A and B are shown apart, each in its own frame.
Chain A
Amino acid sequence: MPVIDAHLHVFAKASSEFPRETADWLPAEREEPVEKLLSVMESHGVQHAVLVQIGGTAFEHHAYLRHCLKSYPDRFRGIGLVAPDSRTPEADMDRLAEGGGIIGFRLFELGGHRDPFQPADVRAFKTYRIWKHAAEKDYVLWLYPRASESHQPPYLLEAFPQVRVVFNHLGVCPGKGKFELDEKGRPRIETPQYNPAFHTTYRLARYENVTVHLSGQYAFSREPYPYRNLAGWHRSLLRNYGSARLLWATDFPWILEDPGYGHLTEIVRELLPDLTDHEREDIMGRTAQKFLRFGPGRT
């Protein structure tokens, strides 16, 4: 059974060949090339990965991602970014997906009413056309909604039950003003131990095409690896979704220095020690292989 890292980022230095947006946490001169990723994957027996776009929603911002997917078509699947306020989301999505490497799109915003007591009309959601087009074209949606919109996904899931959805980073929905950079320059998201997502994303397991990836622990935990204070979140996700709906991911490159890629390959064993071999294989690769349609690949 292949091991598949279901969420990570590679990027080149900002250049005319590979233009991208920059930020404090993504400076122009930083690069995390795909060859570096392949090296650590090789060292730790990881066969495939999902490369998630970083550095902008424009077509040209995806140049490095598209380059990597074209260079290593058997190793990777890609997740692009589409701007929720695009006037032509359907064309944007199709243009990026052309050639087959990009299989889906990441959304940070859904665009419905923020007051949970207001009636929800999905046709009025800002991302309605994106969802509709994903349903028509079988694109995967990669969701990392903000806390203020964390009640909105099930309305869209009811409208588009055929859309495959992957909730990012343990299903957490980050709060406004809770994002900062840690001393290593990587994301830190302040999240209560009693995670409000227990009553939102954790409740969506009844929708058969919803999965969750187990990653980003470093950003939520106040403890060092293996982040044992998050074991309860993992158990709860396992109880609700089952191993066949969970995907392991590292969030490379943010974990390279601390705790290191190798440690991340052991985190499922650390935080869910009672899994059967079959269940662990599900999370470490089988779920991603089936859900994201990786080929047999190398073993």
Chain B
Amino acid sequence: MVQRPTEIQQKQWLEEGYLVIEDAIAGEDLRRLQRAFDTWAEKCKADWLESVEAGQASPTFYDIPNVLERDEVFIDLVDHSSFYGLLAEFMVNDMIFIGPQARTVPAWPVSYSGWHQDVPFSNPLHIKVQVYVNDVDRDGAFAFIPGSHRRGTGPYPAVQRLQSMPGHRVLPGRAGTAILFNTYGYHTAMDNPRGQPRKSIILIYEKRTPGRLDPKAFAAIAHRCRTPERRRLFGLEDPTCP
């Protein structure tokens, strides 16, 4: 059943710019997702290491390439009922899917990312959903500055240590936790100097605007997008697409 935001969720989304949904993916769905993630991460790792050696990729995070084409479980995650209704509500039922990042972040003394916004306020509303594939404690967890998605807040200092950012909140979670966040807001991955690699899938959505999505961007998975809603989400409604 598609979830709609509760009044409390609506309020938190507007005021703080993020929501945490525990056990968004659970049970056999989660185990299937974990198996597919681990299988493809292992299969694609050698190519990634080659890209790192060639200076084409960073050694501090690793994305499974073309992950939607690997297993249908990843496509099913994009419009998963546990959070899709919330997204639809926040996007006023008119959004596109930009892309996934099936990302493993190895332990490293420093986070691979500093505090940042993904898009400027001039960009159409841009939301990410980060789904933890393994249990994530504070080391390596996603972190967000509540309220920083609103114009006129800040400025936020350029801190050298991520944990020095005033007002931030670290969001650890069990495998299957989904975090929705407005990417106008400042966020990062916390340092993970000694912990387990963090595995997560980051799904990127945006308010639909004309010409934003290449109609062929998801042509490779068109045969797996059977409903009009899903085809529209992936920009496959263009009749010239397969």
Q: Once the chains are docked, how many angstroms separate the CA of A221 from the CA of B161?
A: 31
Selected interface stretch from B55-63, B65-73, B83-91, B140-148: B55-63
Report B158-190 residues with CB < 8 Å from chain A CB.
158, 160-161
Q: Once the chains are docked, how many angstroms separate the CA of A116 from the CA of B49?
A: 9
Interface contact B59-A151, CB-CB below 8 Å: yes
Q: Which residue of B lies closest to A203 (CB)?
A: B110
Interface contact B53-A176, CB-CB below 8 Å: yes
With a CB–CB cut-off of 8 A, which chain A residues contact B114? 203, 240
What are 8 A-B interface contacts by the 8 Å CB criterion? A116-B106, A148-B53, A151-B60, A192-B56, A196-B52, A199-B61, A200-B60, A203-B111
Which 8 A-B residue pairings sit nearest by Cβ, starting from the closest? A175-B55, A147-B55, A199-B58, A151-B59, A196-B58, A154-B109, A206-B160, A148-B53
- Number of residues of chain B lying within 8 A (CB) of chain A: 24
Report A99-115 residues with CB < 8 Å from chain B CB.
114-115
Q: Is B40 on the interface with A (CB-CB < 8 A)? A: no
Q: Once the chains are docked, how many angstroms separate the CA of A191 from the CA of B56?
A: 7
Closest Cβ of chain A to B77, distance in Å, is 24
Closest Cβ of chain B to A187, distance in Å, is 14
Seen from chain A, the residues whose Cβ lies within 8 Å of a Cβ on chain B are: 114-117, 146-148, 150-151, 154-155, 157-158, 173-178, 190-192, 196, 198-200, 203-206, 239-240
Q: Once the chains are docked, how many angstroms separate the CA of A177 from the CA of B56?
A: 11
With a CB–CB cut-off of 8 A, which chain B residues contact A155? 109
Q: Is B197 on the interface with A (CB-CB < 8 A)? A: yes
Interface contact A203-B57, CB-CB below 8 Å: no
With a CB–CB cut-off of 8 A, which chain B residues contact A192? 55-56
Interface contact B61-A176, CB-CB below 8 Å: no
Interface contact A115-B49, CB-CB below 8 Å: yes
Q: Once the chains are docked, how many angstroms separate the CA of A34 from the CA of B53?
A: 36
Q: Which residue of B lies closest to A154 (CB)?
A: B109
With a CB–CB cut-off of 8 A, which chain A residues contact B108? 116, 151, 154
Q: Is B113 on the interface with A (CB-CB < 8 A)? A: yes
